Amino acid sequence: MENRMYAEVLVDVGARKINQVFHYSVPSGLAGRLKAGCMVMVPFGGRRAGGFVTGFSPLPEGLAGRTQIKEILELLDEGPVYTPAQMDLAIWMADFYLCPLVTALNSIIWPRIQGMAVKTVRGIYPADITGDQGYLDRLTPKRRQAWEVAGERPGLTRKDLARAAGVSVSVIDSLVSGGLLYYGSIETRRDPYPEEGPAAGRGFLLTSNQSMALQEISRAIDRSAREVFLLFGVTSSGKTEVYLRSIEHTLARGRQSVVMVPEISLTPQMVSAFKGQFGDRVAVLHSRLSHGERYDEWRRIASGEAPVVLGARSASFAPLENPGLIILDEEHENSYKQEENPRYHARDVALWLAGRFKAVAVLGSATPALESYYRAQPGGPYSLLTLPGRVERRPLPGVRVIDMREEIKEGNAGLFSRALVAAVKEKLKRREQVILFLNRRGYSTFVVCRDCGLVLKCPHCDISLTYHAGGSLRCHYCNHVAAAPGSCPDCGSSHLGYFGTGTQKIEEEVTRVFPEARVIRMDSDTTSRKGSHGRILKEFREGGADILVGTQMVAKGLDIPGVTLVGVVGADLTLHMPDFRSAERTFQLVAQVAGRAGRGDVPGEVLVQTYSPDHYSIMYASRHDYISFYKHEMEIRKALQYPPYTRLARVLFTGKDEDTVKKAAEGLAAVLTGMAGMDQFGGIEILGPAAAPLPRIKDRYRHHLVVKSKSGKILRSLLKNMMNRVELKGRDGVNISVDIDPQNLM
């Protein structure tokens, strides 16, 4: 057998049947340059394809002498684009979430390969004329001043140098033309938060509970062993301060830290807290950065310049060499779960990182996911740390539940209860601030013909169109936009009714009911432009508005001392969703938005408007009673055998022909049912198939089935076997996707 070494290449084609490495010969021009981790271009299936060199080996026995081995065409990136730990993570993700390895790897290293050029600017430098001091003496004072500043601060741009020296740009130009200054290229960082920097020492005194939590986390960091803590603290209990001091302890031990927050909570306020403490040692990663900003932050992390990483779920993929602490703030948040392949959950990745690096994972929340709190019970894999009270002994806000059925009975058909109107007026009189929360954007939820009953729906999705002020109808699933008609498309009637309420309508009604108030709105419509989220919050925090109207963007992460009243306009919107987590999400949302009140010196109050005042999720949220909610909900989960008592997977079928999709779902359900009868797959239960709650999105029909098992290992084994038998992108145009531990069954 020949001893020649061939490159093992993971070809960038995201198909399960190509989920392996292929051998290629190394051309002489690349000998010595090619190494594991490089990106290359290779011939594949009659075309050119990108790929990643994963290693080198002789040809397997089955290939040696039997086939002509193709040659690598081109080296795309000389340096390794992934670290060994990142490849290990990709391998684990591919196995756990049942996706192609190259799909997992691409999601991890995306910032590295998307912005491959550094940014340079033309900087000005002083020429070396030390041998001719007399020449300097003959310069005018302004020219000499400019030359000296260029020596003190080399690399400034033409305009910046003129400004720093206090001269005109013509003075700089004359020095360049005279040979005393010259232009050179200098690499510059695309800093997404240039205004944020280190602040003065905080000097906060920790509460006894904060001190105990910090002590436990610090001891675990010192042990350099995998440990997981659930930091369960009420809103405004000081979890962020525990995070900051834990990071200080980690850095002092020469290790790095990752802090993940929901994208929606990654406000300038959060960035300011971390940059204020750690300055340029913080790198920020999230989806609203430009490709260049993300790439520059990625390089700072890889070089060791930024040992603290703050970001959304993708921050878990940062190229760190030795993380000692991984923090997942608001760990209950749905946004930590990616809905596209690979369908990973940042919590799972955080726990994998803790194991891989013998690090500490801290999961923080005022309303933990039931699965997390269950695992933090005695004997479970997590350790529980509690912060039961607010800092500075501030009281939790009083919560009053308003029964909107009674309001209607008593003649009030408006959006706001009489109690909420009175409370807002009182706060405005006292010059205090108010947040009004409604988890639905737009003006009206749907438009219906009052004569024939037609509801105007999206032509591409089975969902009603949302009416927006200005006369547009929009689908919030596929972004279809149409002008609102003047008459019914079916019967021609002009009697069109606009029903339901969105944040635009709330804003309009607030302006009408409280004409003296300054009102701003924060939802995905008003924050679509970069930086708009931060500008709105800055304006509100600095007193530029009295009332902030918003969706779930205002429910999390905001710490605005001036807010003394929170009004939950519709607490029922998530309560009756066809999802077993609907009660849990309602509790979390109400409890979290209630926590925005009373974070300053003035006690806060919360008014919750609902048509289901007796529902246990709203009752317990109004009492700030997570433990009672947990016990109540867990009884239901146990009876129905839902997580955390079982593990779930969702198999989703989508296609353009409804009957074909239905038949594909029924056929695969029969296959799975047959496999579930085998001894090796004991305890598997198949639910469905059935039409998904949203049966059509973007012109594709949707059916799904749910697979249940008490063993995650058996569940994945069954699905792996199924996927080896079935092509996930069928010839009949039906796509099949598998979601392990789904967070959304819609």
Is residue 521 in a domain? yes
Each residue's pLDDT tens digit, 596-641: 888 888 989 999 999 889 999 999 999 999 999 999 999 999 999 9
Give the separation between CA 517 and CA 424, rounded to whole angstroms.
10
In a domain, 199, yes or no: no
Structure-model confidence comparison of residues 200 and 273, the more confident one:
273
**Helix pair 101-114, 84-97: axis angle to 10 deg:** 140
Last residue of a domain, one of 393, 421, 454: 393
The count of domains in the chain is 4
Mean per-residue pLDDT, 152-166? 89
- pLDDT higher than threshold 70 for residue 115: no
Residues 358 and 229 in one domain: yes
Q: What is the pLDDT of residues 482-499, one digit of tens each?
A: 898 889 888 888 888 766
Q: Has residue 202 got a pLDDT over 60?
A: no
> Could you tell me the pTM of the whole model?
0.86
Domain shared by 273 and 387, yes or no: yes
Three-state DSSP at 507 gives: helix
Mean pLDDT of 4-16: 85
Rounded to whole angstroms, how far apart are CA atoms 593 and 569? 11
Give the residue among 439, 410, 581 at the shortest CA–CA distance from 500: 439
pLDDT value for 315: 94
pLDDT for the residue 444: 53
Residue 11 binned pLDDT confidence (cut-offs 50, 70, 90) = very high
Q: Which of 325, 315, 131, 135 is nearest to 217 (CA)?
A: 325
Average per-residue pLDDT for the chain: 88
Cβ contact 469:441 at 8 Å: no
Same domain, yes or no: 109 and 253: no
Query: What contacts 667, CB < 8 A, 6 or more positions away?
Result: none
Instruction: Judge if 552 and 696 occupy the same domain.
Output: no
Rounded percentage of the chain residues whose pLDDT exceeds 70: 91
For the segment 378-403, the average pLDDT, to the nearest whole number, is 93
C-alpha to C-alpha distance for 547 and 416, rounded to whole angstroms: 14
pLDDT digits (tens, 9 = 90+) for 398-423: 999 999 889 988 998 888 999 999 99
Class of residue 133 by CB neighbours under 10 A (exposed 0-12, middle 13-18, buried 19+): exposed
Domain-located, residue 141: no
Same domain, 240 and 300: yes
> What is residue 280's DSSP assignment?
G
Tell me whether residue 248 is exposed, middle or buried, using C-beta atoms within 10 angstroms of its C-beta: 0 to 12, 13 to 18, 19 or more. Answer: middle
The token pair that represents 710 in the structure block: 């008490």
**Contact between 70 and 42 (Cβ < 8 Å):** yes
* pLDDT computed for residue 203 by the predictor: 59
**Residue 428 and residue 346 share a domain:** no
Answer yes or no: do 383 and 270 share one domain. yes
Residues 436 and 582 in one domain: yes
| Residue 176 CB-density burial (10 A; 0-12 exposed, 13-18 middle, 19+ buried) | middle
Any residues with CB less than 8 A from the CB of 121 and at least 6 apart, and which? 157, 185, 186, 188
Task: Say if strands 308-311 and 256-260 run parallel, antiparallel, or are unpaired.
Answer: parallel
Q: 409 and 387 share a domain?
A: no
Rounded to whole angstroms, how far apart are CA atoms 737 and 208? Answer: 48
Same domain, 617 and 706: no
Residue 467: per-residue pLDDT: 80
Over residues 520-568, the pLDDT tens digits come to 988 777 777 777 777 888 888 899 999 999 887 777 667 788 999 999 9
Residue 45 has pLDDT above 80, yes or no: yes
pLDDT in tens, 423-466: 999 999 999 999 998 876 555 566 878 777 788 888 888 878 88
Of 211, 260, 247, 210, the C-alpha closest to 324 is 247
- Asked if pLDDT for residue 201 goes beyond 60, the answer is no
Report residue 452 as tokens.
Answer: 């024939």
Residue 723 lies in a domain: yes
State the DSSP code for 220: H
Residue 719 resides in a domain: yes
**Close Cβ partners of 257 (under 8 Å, ≥ 6 residues apart):** 246, 247, 250, 251, 307, 308, 309, 323, 324, 325, 326, 327
Assign 249 to helix, strand or coil: helix
Instruction: Confirm if 717 and 681 have CB atoms less than 8 A apart.
Output: yes
Q: Is residue 448 part of a domain?
A: no
For 307, phi then psi, to 5°, come to -80, 0
Say yes or no: 74 and 105 in one domain. Answer: yes
User: Number of helices and strands (H, E) in the chain?
Assistant: 21, 29
Give the H or E element holding residue 597.
none
Write down which residue in 638, 663, 684 finishes a domain.
638
Q: Establish if 63 belongs to a structural domain.
A: yes
The predicted structure's pLDDT at residue 1: 42
Q: Name residues whose C-beta falls within 8 Å of residue 150's C-beta, 6 or more positions apart in sequence.
A: 124, 125, 126, 156, 161, 165, 175, 181
Per-residue b or e along 535-561, where b marks 16 or more CB atoms closer than 10 Å to that residue's CB:
ebbeebbeeebbbbbbbbbbbbbbbbe
196 has a pLDDT exceeding 60: no
Whether the CB-CB separation of 237 and 290 falls below 8 Å is answered with no
- Check residue 266 and give its pLDDT: 66
Q: Is 202 helix (H, G, I), strand (E, B) or coil?
A: coil
Which structural domain range is residue 589 located in? 398-442+502-638
Residue range 214-255, pLDDT digits in tens: 999 999 999 999 999 999 999 989 999 999 999 999 999 999
Q: Closest Cα partner for 183 from 232, 238, 230, 124? A: 124
Q: What is the mean pLDDT of residues 353-382?
A: 97
CA nearest neighbour of 548 among 583, 506, 589: 506
Give yes or no for residue 7 having a pLDDT over 80.
yes
pLDDT at 103 over 50: yes
Tell me the β-bridge partners of 310. Answer: 259, 284
Could you tell me the CATH number of the domain that includes residue 595?
3.40.50.300
Distance CA 575, CA 594 (A): 17
Which pLDDT band, with edges at 50, 70 and 90, does 61 fall under? Answer: confident
User: Minimal CA–CA distance to 311: which of 340, 290, 288?
Assistant: 288
Helix (H, G, I), strand (E, B) or coil at 688: strand
What does the block give as tokens for 730?
Answer: 């069928």
Give the end of a domain, one of 591, 613, 638.
638
Residues 389, 408, single domain; the answer is: no
Alpha carbons within 13 angstroms on the beta-carbon side of residue 422 total 5
For residues 569-578, average pLDDT: 79
CA distance 160 to 331: 44
- Determine, yes or no, domain membership for 264: yes
Calpha distance 249→231 (Å, rounded)? 17
Helix (H) / strand (E) element for 547: namely strand 547-550
Burial class (CB in 10 A: 0-12, 13-18, 19+), 714: middle
User: What 8-state DSSP symbol labels residue 485?
Assistant: P
**DSSP assignment string, 638-667:** HHHT-TTSSEEEEEEEEES-HHHHHHHHHH
Distances (CA, A) of 283 to 256, 272, 293, 347, 397: 11, 12, 10, 20, 35
Nearest-angstrom CA–CA distance, 443 and 549:
13
